[in-house]
Homo-oligomer: A and B are copies of this chain.
Amino acid sequence: MIVVKMGGAQGVNLPAVCADVAELVNAGKPVVFVHGGSNETNELTAQLGLTARFITTVTGFTSRYTDRKTLEIFAMATAKVNLILVEQLQKAGVNAIGISGVDGRLLCAKRNDAIKIVENGKRLVIRDDYTGRIETVNAGLLHALLSAGLTPVIQPLAISESGDALNVDADRAAAMVAGAMGAEQLILLTNVPGLLRNFPDETSLIPHIDRSAVNAALELAEGRMKKKVLGAIEALERGVGKVIFADGRVEHPLSGALAGKGTVIS
């Protein structure tokens, strides 16, 4: 079983990713597909005449500030991405099924009910944020869908203890799914060739990181790549054999990654 995560960042080659997923699935290799939608969410936010707001925690992680209104925009934008992926896969002969982490309590998360952030040099606590950290994955539901010949396409929402939808980081969602499913590999496709020693210099790609050295890689990672490295650590801790960061902008992004292109952590 392979878990593939396609980022929502600009430049990712959605048809090429779907074509590669279809090739794997049609060859009998089960795939669970997780996607993001940050770019679509930014676009929809702007089309609605609103401004996306990002917050940076005191520990240096950046995420979308998500009040209930933003959560609904995020849900709509990622639902559109989900639909487009399911359509593309269906056109390629894959019986895809879109599912969010709220559906069937697929991804259960703890809501971040007090986020310590830094804004303009000041420390603040955010209490109305609908984001969360996934604690459990309903792997049984995914196995049941796969057994029925379906390919799950997961929209990055989770459900809180009290039944509210939460915006969760799709990279870390993919990592938790890969861990819970006992996946051989987790492939994170994004709009860079992998982990770069000198971001954004793409020639400084790090081709391999030993799993014992992955914590050091967290220091190297910039911006959103930090969460991908965190996801990689979480997946490896949960028994996933190999994590690959690879370029989602190219032709054959997934088969390229499986052939060793990108940053392989093993």
Contacts and interface: CB of A to CB of B under 8 A. Distances in A.
Interface string A85-102: 011101100011111101
Query: For the complex formed by this chain, how many copies does it contain in all?
Result: 2
A60 interface: no
B83 A164 contact: no
Chain A interface size, as a band, is 35 or more
Given A80-B72, A144-B144, A148-B141, A98 B103 contact: yes
Interface stretch (A155-163, A244-252, A256-264): A155-163
A16 B10 CA distance: 42
Contact of A97 (B87, B103, B157): B103
Contacts of A91: 162-163
A163 B90 contact: yes
Contact of A87 (B80, B88, B164): B164
Contacts of A157: 83
A104 B147 CA distance: 13
A76 interface: yes
A105 interface: yes
Given A76-B76, A165-B83, A98 B102 contact: yes
Given A103-B96, A103-B98, A80 B86 contact: no
